[in-house]
């Protein structure tokens, strides 16, 4: 019995450092860190983002659209809902010459007109089979920049380009000839992200590390705490690994100083960020200080 | 010595258990709240735990008049934001699409649906259970706004606009007896209130107040909810971080002593009071001007 009690005690004591370790996470230390918009995904490894479905609508009455003849009868309409307040950026897409989506117009300047210049080049990829389903898919050749507005504290709008990539999928059951059983999926993902260099505490020491902020919910806002992501290049290999170096973007970080003292810090980030301010949570919050002019 | 070992073990075990079970108790006080409508900040393991889900009816409410063009396939949903409020109707239709693409909302609750009450709808998600059940989910492009009247403690009244989240699900079931799809609506207020409360020691906790019984009032004991982001992940977890208003908050206070606080807000909250039983404020102190 005494041996059992001793064993249990050792196990319990062993749990204490483990739990302390689990509570430690890499946290930003106080300061103001400049951020730069990026669209190049070469720095990001193991991209495993979830793509968002494009919201489809009837043709808006106030939308002008200039399609090619073959595209007119096949156009379906949709919106990307980006920015703050949320803006409906219209698009039209469809199948004119192939089985999967092969044309797309995006109202990149957000003027409620789809023009010939706003036609997005689509690449048709080789179909593949899986089980009893054929998958046909296409994608935009490159990401497309569209104008998105963000409201500052004083009510004025800041307009900035947000790049978006499109993917289209058609699931075609092989055991039926009924076109109605085909399923179409229309996806997009926000490709703009922000790069910065900051000082982080990893539980052992303060380190100057590169970090990235990603739009986790594809709404064009980069300060959705709990929804967006922060990647911290902890192994300093100049890449951000979406499997190993990803953290949810949280507003309040806690840094454990010792077993009795925990310091809480707040991040201040604008929806289109140019700087990330990290400050003690008790300090007065000045959102204007992080807004681009 | 041999008798001391089990005693030490017991003490360690007890301290570990106390550490695990004691939730962080905020500091008593009155804290400001701000209105928010971004439901993404609240995590639901199942949306049914917050949203009212109702199968839509093809029977038009008797008192409802339609002053709009005919829709191919029309469904109706009538709801009230509280017993004293007038019923409001959603008229939902499907025309040449697999999803609900027509929506009218009787925003002024006059029981007449007019052309200017048409709301733009976007088809947002497709969910499938390997073809056995295909669900096409659409929602208004802009959130619906509902004006509601609130009473102050001195019986004066004021109006506020609640936002309403509406999702319309059109479901097609393989082998269903009826060729007609299943029409469901998920409806709930998307207005909620956000604040930060002190947790002592230069720490804060994020809190949220939700109208859990969906009548537009946020202060009902045992019905509405207070959520505390205890794990500081910037998301309120409906399943793990929720408690009913009216229930005591208990835990270890910043001074290390176990204590109880009673949360209280007004019907349209501007402030959150966390006070001990003998210091509960007058409700009028929590109202906005």
pLDDT tens digits along A198-243: 999 988 889 999 999 999 999 999 999 999 999 999 999 999 999 9
Selection from B22-31, B80-89, B222-231, B256-265 with the highest mean pLDDT: B222-231
Measured between CB atoms, which of B99, B201, B234 is closest to A225?
B234
Which 3 state secondary structure label does DSSP give B181?
coil
Has residue A18 got a pLDDT over 60? no
Please tell me if residue B13 touches chain A, with a CB cutoff of 8 Å. Answer: yes
Which residue from B minimizes the CA distance to A260?
Answer: B201
Query: What band does A16 get if pLDDT is binned at 50, 70 and 90?
Result: very low
Nearest 5°: CA angle at B95, between A176 and A183?
30
Please tell me if residue B233 touches chain A, with a CB cutoff of 8 Å. Answer: yes
- Is B27 within 8 Å of B197 (Cβ atoms)? yes
Which whole number is the average pLDDT over A240-260?
A: 89
Lowest-pLDDT range of A159-168, B79-88, B106-115: B79-88
Q: DSSP code of A43?
A: G
Measured between CB atoms, which of B12, B124, B131 is closest to A9?
B12
Percentage of chain A exceeding pLDDT 90: 75
Mean pLDDT in chain B? 87
C-alpha B96/C-alpha A58 separation (Å) is: 10
Q: DSSP code of B118?
A: B
Q: E strands within A242-291?
A: 246-248, 252-256, 262-269, 275-280
**What pLDDT score does B277 carry?**
84
C-alpha B287/C-alpha B271 separation (Å) is: 7
Q: Which residues of A touch B6 (CB under 8 A)?
A: 5
pLDDT tens digits along A35-90: 999 999 999 999 988 899 999 999 888 899 999 999 999 999 999 999 999 999 99
Lowest-pLDDT range of A9-23, B150-164, B214-228: A9-23
What's the gap between Cα A199 and its chain centre?
Answer: 23
- Is B247 within 8 Å of B8 (Cβ atoms)? no
**What pLDDT score does A136 carry?**
94
pLDDT tens digits along B5-36: 665 555 555 544 444 444 678 999 999 999 99
Beta pairing, strands B182-189 & B157-173: antiparallel
Q: To the nearest whole angstrom, how far is the Cα of B57 from the nearest Cα of chain A?
A: 24
Tokens 């479905």 label which residue? A53
For the entire predicted model, the pTM comes to 0.87
For every residue of A79-142, DSSP letters joined together read EEEETBTTEEEEEEEE-SSSSS--EEEE-TT-SSEE-GGGEEPEEEPPPEEETTEEEEEEEESS
Has residue B176 got a pLDDT over 90? no
Q: To the nearest whole angstrom, how far is the Cα of A34 from the nearest Cα of chain B?
A: 23
Tokens, residue A280 = 């003690």
- Is B166 within 8 Å of B90 (Cβ atoms)? yes
| Helix orientation angle between B4-21 and A2-23, rounded to the nearest 10 degrees | 30
C-alpha B204/C-alpha B195 separation (Å) is: 10
Q: To the nearest whole angstrom, how far is the Cα of A275 from the nearest Cα of chain B?
A: 20
Measured between CB atoms, which of B120, B121, B124 is closest to A53?
B124
C-alpha B203/C-alpha B197 separation (Å) is: 9
Sign, CA torsion A13/A17/A18/A20: positive
**What pLDDT score does B16 carry?**
46
**What pLDDT score does A178 carry?**
66
């Amino acid at each position: 019995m005494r041996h059992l009690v001793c064993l249990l005690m050792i196990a319990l004591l062993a749990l204490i450092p483990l739990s302390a370790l689990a509570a430690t996470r890499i946290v930003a230390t106080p300061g103001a860190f400049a951020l730069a918009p990026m669209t190049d995904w070469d720095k990001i490894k193991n991209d495993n983002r979830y793509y968002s479905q494009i919201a489809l609508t009837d043709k808006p009455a106030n939308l002008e659209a200039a399609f090619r003849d073959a595209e007119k009868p096949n156009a379906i309409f949709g919106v990307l809902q980006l920015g703050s307040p949320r803006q409906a950026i219209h698009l039209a897409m469809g199948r004119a010459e192939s089985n999967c989506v092969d044309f797309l117009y995006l109202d990149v300047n957000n003027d409620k007109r789809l023009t010939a210049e706003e036609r997005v080049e689509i690449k048709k990829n080789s179909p593949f089979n899986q089980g009893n389903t054929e998958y046909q898919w296409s994608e935009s050749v490159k990401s497309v920049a569209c104008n998105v507005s963000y409201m500052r504290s004083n009510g004025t709008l800041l307009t900035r380009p947000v790049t978006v990539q499109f993917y289209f999928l058609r699931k075609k059951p092989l055991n039926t000839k009924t076109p109605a059983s085909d399923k179409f999926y229309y996806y997009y993902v926000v490709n703009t992200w922000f790069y910065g260099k900051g000082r982080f505490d990893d539980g052992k020491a303060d380190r100057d590390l590169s970090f990235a902020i990603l739009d986790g919910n594809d709404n064009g806002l980069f300060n959705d705490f709990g929804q967006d992501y922060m990647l911290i290049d902890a192994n300093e290999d100049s890449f951000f690994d979406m499997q190993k170096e990803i953290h949810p973007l949280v507003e309040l970080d806690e840094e454990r100083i010792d077993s009795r003292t925990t310091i809480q810090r707040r991040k201040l980030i604008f929806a289109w960020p140019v700087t990330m301010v990290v400050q003690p949570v008790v300090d007065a919050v000045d959102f204007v200080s992080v807004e681009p002019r | 010595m041999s008798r001391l070992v089990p005693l030490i073990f017991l003490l360690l075990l007890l301290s570990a258990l106390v550490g695990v079970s004691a939730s962080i108790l905020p500091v008593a006080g009155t804290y400001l709240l701000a209105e928010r409508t971004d439901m993404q900040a609240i995590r639901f393991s199942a949306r049914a735990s917050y949203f009212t889900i109702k199968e839509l009816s093809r029977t038009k409410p008797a008192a409802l008049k339609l002053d709009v063009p005919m829709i191919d396939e029309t469904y109706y949903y009538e709801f009230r934001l509280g017993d004293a409020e007038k019923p409001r109707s959603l008229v939902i239709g499907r025309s040449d699409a697999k999803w609900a693409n027509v929506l009218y909302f009787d925003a002024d609750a006059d029981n007449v649906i007019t052309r200017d009450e048409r709301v733009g709808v976007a088809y947002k998600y497709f969910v499938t259970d390997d073809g056995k059940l295909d669900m096409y989910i659409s929602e208004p492009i802009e959130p619906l706004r509902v004006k509601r009247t609130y009473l102050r403690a001195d019986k004066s009244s004021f109006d506020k606009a609640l936002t309403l989240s509406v999702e319309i699900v059109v479901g097609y079931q393989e082998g269903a007896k009826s060729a007609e799809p299943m029409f469901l609506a998920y409806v709930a207020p998307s207005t909620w209130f956000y604040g930060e409360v002190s947790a002592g020691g230069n720490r804060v906790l994020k809190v949220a107040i939700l109208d859990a019984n969906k009548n537009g009032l946020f202060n009902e004991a045992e019905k509405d909810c207070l959520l505390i982001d205890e794990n500081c992940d910037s998301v309120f977890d409906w399943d793990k971080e929720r408690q009913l208003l009216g229930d005591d908050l208990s835990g270890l206070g910043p001074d290390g002593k176990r204590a109880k606080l009673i949360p209280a807000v007004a019907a349209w909250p501007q402030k959150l009071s966390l006070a001990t039983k003998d210091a509960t404020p007058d409700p009028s102190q929590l109202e906005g001007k």
